[in-house]
Amino acid sequence: MLNYVYPRAIDGKSVAPIDAKVVAPLIIAAREAGKTQKECTGILGEVESDDVHGFNALYKEIESERLAMAAVPIGGTQTAYLAELDKIKKHLDPNKYLAGKKAEAGVTTWTDLKAAVTPAEL
């Protein structure tokens, strides 16, 4: 018998699962700061979790959500566009995504964004 104060898993395979509501905003903030997936894994230390598989799955889920939002065509009304983004959202904010699209195009209005979209993006 080992001389530990508290009981622990014999094989050391007990993993504290991540809380997606806590970790997803941290991943998004790290990505917005330009960090890579490898650099983002430092978040596990911040939240005191060793669930690397859960972290990687959440990271990929956020990336898939970003790609799905990028695939939504810019057309129709801004309200309709936001409604489509809202159908996809789980961790990302549709309004921040739209603001980013406008900033990326160098415009501030929906009308100007639609005008800035190339035919290939439609």
Q: Please check whether residue 40 is in contact with residue 27, taking contact to mean a CB–CB distance below 8 angstroms.
A: yes
- What letter does residue 76 receive in the DSSP assignment? S
Higher pLDDT, 75 or 3: 75
Mean per-residue pLDDT, 76-97: 96
Q: What are the domain boundaries of the chain?
A: 16-71, 73-122
CB 23 within 8 A of CB 11: no
pLDDT at 45: 85
Q: What is the predicted pLDDT for the residue at 9?
A: 65
What is the value of pTM for the model shown?
Answer: 0.80
Tokens coding 94: 């549709």
Would you state the structure tokens that stand for residue 38, as one six-digit string?
């490898």
| Residue 27, amino acid | I
Dihedral angle computed from the Cα positions of residues 64, 65, 68 and 74, in that order, rounded to the nearest 10 degrees? -150
- Residue 6 has what pLDDT? 74
Question: In whole angstroms, what is the distance from residue 50 CA to residue 48 CA?
Answer: 7
Average pLDDT over residues 83-97: 97
Q: Token pair of 33, please?
A: 């700061």
| 46 Cβ contact list (under 8 Å, min separation 6) | 26
Task: Provide CB contacts within 8 A for 48, sequence distance 6+.
Answer: 16
Q: What is the pLDDT of residue 1?
A: 42
49-85 pLDDT, tens per residue? 888 889 999 999 999 999 999 999 998 999 999 999 9
